[in-house]
Amino acid sequence: MTAAKRIDGKAKAAQLTESITRETATLLAEHGIKPGLAVVIIGKDPASQVYVRNKRRTAESCGFHSVQHSLDADALQPDVLALIHQLNSDDAIHGILVQLPLPEHLDEQLITQAISPSKDVDGFHFINIGKLTAGLTADAFVPCTPAGCMLMIQDEIGNDLSGKNAVVIGRSNIVGKPMASLLLQANATVTVAHSRTKNLPGVVAAADIVVAAVGRPDMVKADWVKPGAVVIDVGINRVEKMIDGEKKMGLTGDVDFDDVGTVAGAVTPVPGGVGPMTISMLMANTLRSARLAAGLEA
Ligand code: GUN
């Protein structure tokens, strides 16, 4: 069995941010507009801190106006909503992202739906979900993680997925559901599997495309996977790993990379696969929002 191709999300993301950086410079030179991204983080969740820092750094490296609002874990809901309303009416801000998960006392629905749909670079507003589900993808902000997965899939297979079976494992609003909509829009035959699915290995065995987004370390094994399949690993799990002969905390995906790599056609690694692509798509959405606000083509 030949080894699968390792899809280099990090390199692909770097290419994307390079072209976003160039377009940002042109937008500023020709129209005097700088894309503005506001990231709101509430509390001290360590993983969220890392994600937000990466988002801010990438935004700065693209030449964006980048602001971060760090609120205490006990921030009051009216104060969070007031901040969002202030950002909604700030002309220097084109994208607003409230990092999830939120502390338990806050209403995630109320907060994500308070973001103006035209600044919703996460694609979590019902208006954007509705457009995506209705197939109006070109007119919607598409959630960043599934958008990044889709780019990698289409780089491997082509834009038209007619005749391909795709299995999405996980039915979250952030990844699973929008991923299924995107695959369907590209003409794939889509199955959404989840924790109540019977015979998950049997379902995955029929898939030309597998997207794993469940949060279970190394769950997808080689004997589940159809030879030649494209396997996209969205999982980011913190586990104890042997690194240089020592037990350390490391990251692993939902796919057993080395095992699946003996059967699949192409696999994304963790880290260095979906993660960097997600950040690039956030930059792409923010640039797009700035262009639209200026009356330019997306
Ligand atoms: N937490 C984990 N993933 C995401 C994401 O894509 N957007 C936001 N806002 N929070 C997240």
For atom 11 of ligand 1, the residue with the nearest CA is 100
Q: If DSSP codes are grouped into helix, strand and coil, which group holds residue 78? A: helix
Burial 153-190 (b: 16+ CB within 10 A, else e): beeebeeebeebbbbbbbbbebbbbbbbbbbebbebbb
Q: Annotated catalytic sites, by residue?
A: 55, 99, 122
Ligand 1 atom with minimal separation from the 97 CA: 9
Lowest pLDDT segment from 59-73, 81-95, 241-255: 241-255
CA of 80 to the centre of ligand 1 (A): 17
The amino acid occupying position 29 is A
Intrachain domains 30-115 and 144-275 with the same fold:
yes
pLDDT at residue 279 is higher than 80: yes
Residue 91: count of CB within 10 angstroms of its CB: 8
* Burial of 272 from C-beta contacts in 10 A (0-12 / 13-18 / 19+): middle
For range 169-178, the mean pLDDT? 98
pTM of the model as a whole: 0.97
Ligand 1 pocket, residue 100 CB under 6 Å: yes
Ligand 1 atom with minimal separation from the 144 CA: 6
The alpha carbon of 212 is separated from its chain's Cα centroid by a whole number of angstroms, namely 13
The CATH code that applies to domain 30-115 is: 3.40.50.10860
CATH topology of domain 144-275: Rossmann fold (3.40.50)
Ligand 1 pocket, residue 120 CB under 6 Å: no
CA of 174 to the centre of ligand 1 (A): 7
* Burial of 71 from C-beta contacts in 10 A (0-12 / 13-18 / 19+): middle
Over residues 1-24, the pLDDT tens digits come to 569 999 999 999 999 999 999 999
176 Cβ contact partners less than 8 Å away, ≥ 6 residues apart: 168, 169, 170, 192, 194, 213
Ligand 1 pocket, residue 99 CB under 6 Å: yes
For range 59-86, the mean pLDDT? 98
Domains of the chain, residue spans: 30-115, 144-275
Over residues 88-97, the pLDDT tens digits come to 999 999 999 9
* Burial of 46 from C-beta contacts in 10 A (0-12 / 13-18 / 19+): exposed
Over residues 77-136, the pLDDT tens digits come to 999 999 999 999 999 999 999 999 999 999 999 999 999 999 999 999 999 999 999 999
Strand partners, 238: 251
Over residues 192-214, the pLDDT tens digits come to 999 999 999 999 999 999 999 99
